[in-house]
């Protein structure tokens, strides 16, 4: 497994500046295509109006198909906001509370004092499952062999119960990004609702919002007639383009696993703007900074990073990725502005460069 896989789930820090005076979003994108080789889809909404919507590059190196604006990309950790929404929907229905212990839902869970809120805020102290599974899951097989594929979250949870890796810190003591936490949240949502995670999200979020091209995808290595617009990940190497789409953990859900499009994610943004799914009080909780045990605030709400940009604009955002996919959604809530970036060519420099320059422009 590549060392970068844990990193690519995280929001990436970006520490450089640029001069954007008299520059348009189209100019920025064209420059990144020219200098960085950007391959993906982009949409920018500013003050409620579409100012850029574009697809550039290929969707499948084996066929050479071009991307179109309704191509379906793997979201990586941008999926986490949907997992958090699933939990808040159950909370609104009185099916669970944030303060409940994980052991109430997973009795053999080997750690004490970890609550749903800890999982949502990444303050649980739970070690990431990625390295655990790489080291202990069917290592006699190669990573891309179907015999090594996990069947889903239960395989991860059982391995955690079996191996009980050391907890990193006492729950609530620190903040550390945890994919494990969101896998557990998806499993909790299944056990509370009595439905599979994909069915629950489809019934409670995707279908009501008209997100017809969004799903918790049941991964297939080959082309899938049920998802004809699906995009495949790849990467550039000295020997040409090679596939970067298959991983034995592709069936994990909650921390990733969702596929979607620009238009569906725009519908998602508007549903949050118009508060279509949950109570107003619960929506406010999603975009409120969490706290540590000592009262210190963290810059993460429920499935979203929380920030405040120049001119006191309220913003929320998240990046994500897995195998060849790099994604980002940034919402300037104050101005009803959003940009979404979806890529499939393993190029993090392209995503980071666009994010930084778009941020400067959208909040100016």
pLDDT (tens digit, 9 = 90+) per residue, 317-362?
999 999 999 999 999 988 889 999 999 999 988 999 999 999 989 8
For 15-71, the three-class secondary structure string (H helix, E strand, C coil) is CCCCCCCCCCHHHHHHHHHHHHCCCEEEEEEECCEEEEEEEECEEECCCCEECCCCC
pLDDT (tens digit, 9 = 90+) per residue, 225-270?
999 999 999 999 999 999 999 999 999 999 999 999 999 999 999 9
Here the tokens at position 192 are 């509370």
Residue written as token pair 């696993």: 257
pLDDT of residue 16: 35
User: Which of these is catalytic: 77, 260, 267, 346?
Assistant: 77
Q: Is residue 21 scored above 80 in pLDDT? A: no
Question: 77 an active-site residue?
Answer: yes
DSSP letter for each residue of 269-293 = HHHHHHT-SS-HHHHHHHTS--B-T
- Report, as an integer, the average pLDDT of 179-203: 98
Here the tokens at position 50 are 């579409």
Nearest residue to 72 (alpha-carbon basis) of 254, 354, 267, 262? 262
- The CA distance from 362 to 51, in Å, is 11
Q: Is residue 15 scored above 50 in pLDDT? A: no
- Report, as an integer, the average pLDDT of 66-85: 98
- Report, as an integer, the average pLDDT of 7-16: 39
Q: What secondary structure letter does DSSP report for 327? A: E
Taking all residues of the chain, what is their mean pLDDT, rounded to a whole number? 92
Residue 140: how many other CB atoms lie within 10 Å:
7
pLDDT of residue 7: 37
Among 9-13, 277-281, 304-308, the range scoring the smallest mean pLDDT is 9-13
DSSP letter for each residue of 60-124 = ETTTTEEP-TT-BEE-GGGGHHHHHHHHHHHHHTTS--TT-BGGGTSTT---SS-BHHHHHHT-S
- DSSP-derived 3-state class of residue 193: helix
pLDDT of residue 313: 84
Pair 28, 354: CB distance under 8 Å: yes
- Name all contacts of 137-145 with Cβ < 8 Å and 24+ positions apart: 137/248, 138/248, 141/248, 143/1, 143/246, 143/247, 143/248, 144/246, 144/247, 144/248, 145/248
| Cα angle 206-116-8, degrees, rounded to a multiple of 5 | 65
pLDDT (tens digit, 9 = 90+) per residue, 131-160?
999 999 999 999 889 999 999 999 999 999
Cα dihedral sign, 345-349-350-356: positive
Question: pTM of this prediction?
Answer: 0.93
pLDDT of residue 362: 87
Pair 353, 29: CB distance under 8 Å: no
Pair 152, 253: CB distance under 8 Å: yes
Residues 6+ apart with CB under 8 A from 294: none
């Amino acid at each position: 497994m590549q060392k970068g896989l844990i990193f690519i789930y995280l929001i990436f820090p970006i520490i450089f500046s640029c001069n954007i005076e008299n520059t348009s979003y189209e100019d920025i994108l064209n420059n990144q295509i020219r200098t960085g080789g950007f391959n993906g889809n982009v949409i920018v909404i500013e003050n409620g109006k579409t100012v850029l919507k574009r697809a550039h590059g290929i969707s499948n190196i084996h066929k050479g198909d071009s991307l179109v604006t309704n191509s379906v990309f793997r979201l990586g950790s941008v999926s986490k906001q949907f997992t958090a929404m699933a939990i808040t929907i159950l909370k609104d229905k009185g099916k669970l509370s944030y303060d409940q212990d994980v052991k109430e839902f997973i009795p053999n869970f080997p750690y004490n004092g970890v609550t749903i809120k800890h999982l949502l805020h990444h303050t649980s102290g739970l070690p990431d499952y990625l390295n655990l599974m790489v080291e202990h899951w069917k290592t006699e097989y190669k990573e891309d062999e179907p015999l090594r594929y996990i069947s889903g979250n239960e395989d991860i949870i059982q391995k955690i119960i079996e191996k009980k890796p050391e907890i990193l810190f006492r729950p609530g003591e620190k903040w550390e990004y945890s994919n494990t936490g969101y896998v557990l949240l998806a499993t909790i949502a299944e056990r509370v609702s009595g439905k599979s995670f994909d069915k629950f999200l489809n019934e409670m979020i995707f279908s009501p919002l008209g997100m017809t091209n969004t799903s918790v995808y049941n991964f297939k290595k080959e082309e899938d007639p049920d998802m004809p617009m699906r995009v495949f990940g790849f990467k550039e190497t000295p020997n040409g383009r090679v596939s970067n789409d298959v991983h034995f953990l592709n069936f994990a859900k909650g921390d990733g696993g969702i596929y979607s499009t620009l238009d569906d994610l725009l519908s998602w943004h508007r549903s949050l703007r118009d508060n279509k799914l949950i109570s107003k009080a619960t929506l406010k909780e999603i975009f409120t900074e969490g706290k540590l045990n000592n009262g210190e605030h963290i810059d993460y709400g429920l499935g979203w990073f929380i920030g405040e940009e120049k001119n006191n604009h309220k913003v929320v955002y998240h990046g994500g990725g897995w195998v060849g996919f790099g994604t980002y959604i940034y919402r300037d809530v104050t101005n009803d502005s959003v940009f979404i970036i979806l890529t499939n060519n393993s190029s993090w420099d392209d995503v980071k460069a666009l994010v930084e320059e778009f941020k400067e422009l959208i909040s100016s």
